[in-house]
Amino acid sequence: MPSSHSKKLAIYPGTFDPITMGHLDIIDRALNIFDRVIIAIAVNSAKEPLFSIKDRQQMIRQCFPDKYSRIEVDTVSGLLVSYAAKKGATAIIRGLRAVSDFDYEFQLALMNRKLERDVDTIFLMPGFRWIYISSSIIKDAARNGGDVCELVPEHVNTLLLEKFSKQ
Ligand code: COA
């Protein structure tokens, strides 16, 4: 066990609107590499989320009833890399699903490195069964009555059903 001095911390940022099985897969993989992971709900100015930040925070916390010592759920406003540096993180975790993710992720990672040289981006691949999912496609299916129960945790599925039954 490393001393508390050398404990490695990573930030896993995203919109998480909502968290999916693909995100959980990435978090599991990150926990195999890092001692602690902060799941950081960040603002993507291009997106208009379905769930409030508070709801997303609660949804994510509910996924980890027994891993609290290694996981923290937080929100980030402002620059992600400044937050990462302030927390003492050495890495930002991003999931890479398909080739289509690459251009955007490459730009993001390079800009982040330009802004903060001491924080590296690490890309992890989710399991093959999660390669083609995204929060948007799941919401779109659920909004139109599709069954997404295998793609999100059970409590998230319940919240999606509730949300769309009201619309
Ligand atoms: N499984 C399933 N879906 C996945 C996934 C996985 N393993 N990995 C990514 N995705 C999906 C997400 O669900 C999301 O889907 P959506 O577009 O349908 O919502 C999409 O891939 C990627 O989004 P996400 O991972 O949530 O990131 P993002 O692109 O919305 O967010 C931020 C990017 C928030 C990290 C970025 O905008 C940021 O850093 N913001 C803070 C401000 C800042 O520092 N800006 C300067 C950046 S240089």
Atom of ligand 1 nearest to the CA of 79: 44
* 79 phi, psi to nearest 5 deg: -70, 130
Residues 47-86 have pLDDT tens digits of 899 999 999 999 999 999 876 689 999 999 999 999 999 9
Write out residues with Cβ below 6 Å of ligand 1.
Answer: 13-15, 17, 20, 22-23, 26, 42-44, 47, 79-80, 95, 97, 108, 111-112, 126, 130, 133-136
The alpha helices in 14-98, defined as continuous H runs, are: 21-33, 53-62, 80-87
**Known catalytic residue: 23?**
yes
Question: For residue 13, how far is its CA from the centre of ligand 1 (angstroms)?
Answer: 7
Residue located nearest, by CA, to atom 8 of ligand 1? 95
Residues 121-144 have pLDDT tens digits of 999 999 999 999 999 999 999 999
* DSSP letter string, 99-117: HHHHHHHHHHHHHHHHH-T
Q: Is the pLDDT of residue 4 over 70?
A: no
Q: Is the pLDDT of residue 1 over 50?
A: no
Q: Is the pLDDT of residue 3 over 80?
A: no
In the prediction, which pLDDT does 67 show?
66
- Please list the helix, strand and coil fractions of the chain in percent, rounded to the nearest 5, in that order: 45, 15, 40
Evaluate whether the domain defined by 9-165 bears CATH number 2.170.190.11: no
Q: From the candidates 7, 47, 67, 155, give the one annotated as an active-site residue.
A: 47
pTM: 0.93
C-alpha torsion 16→20→21→25, nearest 10: -10
- Where exactly are the structural domains of the chain? 9-165
Residues 16-57 have pLDDT tens digits of 999 999 999 999 999 999 999 999 999 888 889 999 999 999
